[in-house]
Chain A
C-alpha cells in the first residue's frame, strides 16, 4: 500500500523567513496530494492541494510543488507569520472504489519565532 514520509518532524523559522516541508510517497498511482494545517486544539483544515496533472500551485503565501518522477511533493510558505505556527500534514491518495483514501505523513510542527 501507499506510504508517505514527511520531513522534518519539527521546524522553527524566524518570522518573515520561508518554510519548506517535504513529503515522499511510494505509490506511483497516487494522483491527489492535499496539505492540512492543524492549529493547537483545532481541527485539521485543508490549506492547499495539487493533482498529478499539475507541477505547481500557488495561493498567496503558500505554494505546493509536485515531482511525479521522483515521487515527492513540498509545501512552501513564504513571509511566515506567527499565525502560521501549527502542525502541517501532507497526504497522498488515489481513487479506490470511487473514493479518495488519504494516506497521511507523520506531521511537521512548524514554529514561527517573532
Chain B
C-alpha cells in the first residue's frame, strides 16, 4: 500500500514568489491534515480536511496560505506571496478515522530566500 506522498520534496524560492505543495493521502483516507515545522521547533497544526471540506483551519497563519482538496482526494497548499518566515518543512498526514493513527508524508522542505 502506498503511503502519503508529498511533492516537491524541496523547493527554493525567492520572497514574494508563489509555491504550491501537493499531498496525496493514503487511498481511502478521508481525513487529511497539514502541519508545519519551522526552524527545528515543534510540528504545528495548520488545518484538517474531511473529504473536500475544511473541518478545522485554525492553525493557518494568515491569508497568504490557501489549502484546497477538490474532489476529496489530493490536497494542495499554496503560499502566495511567500515570506522568509514561511521557510520550514510542511508535512501532510492522513487517517482513515478522525481519531485514528496519523500517517505522515516525508514532508516538503520550503526555503524562502
Question: Contact residues of A with B, CB < 8 Å?
Answer: 4, 6, 32, 34, 36, 41-46, 49, 89, 91, 95-107
**A-B contact number at CB 8 A:** 60
Residue B74 at the chain A interface, CB threshold 8 Å: no
Nearest residue (CB) in A for B106 is A43
User: Which of B4, B41, B44, B99 is close to A99, meaning CB atoms less than 8 Å apart?
Assistant: B99
Residue B1 at the chain A interface, CB threshold 8 Å: no
Asked if A106 and B42 sit within 8 Å, CB to CB, the answer is yes
Q: How far is the CA of A67 from the CA of B13 in the complex (A)?
A: 45
Asked if B99 and A43 sit within 8 Å, CB to CB, the answer is no
Q: In which size bucket is the chain B interface?
A: 20 to 34
> Beyond the given A89-B43, A107-B43, could you list 15 further A-B residue pairs with CB under 8 A, ordered by the A residue number?
A32-B99, A42-B106, A43-B91, A43-B106, A45-B104, A98-B98, A99-B99, A101-B48, A103-B42, A104-B35, A104-B42, A104-B43, A105-B42, A106-B42, A107-B42
Residue B87 at the chain A interface, CB threshold 8 Å: no
Question: Contact residues of B with A, CB < 8 Å?
Answer: 3-4, 31, 35, 40-45, 48, 50, 55-56, 91, 98-99, 101-102, 104-107
User: Which of B44, B98, B104, B105 is close to A100, meaning CB atoms less than 8 Å apart?
Assistant: B98
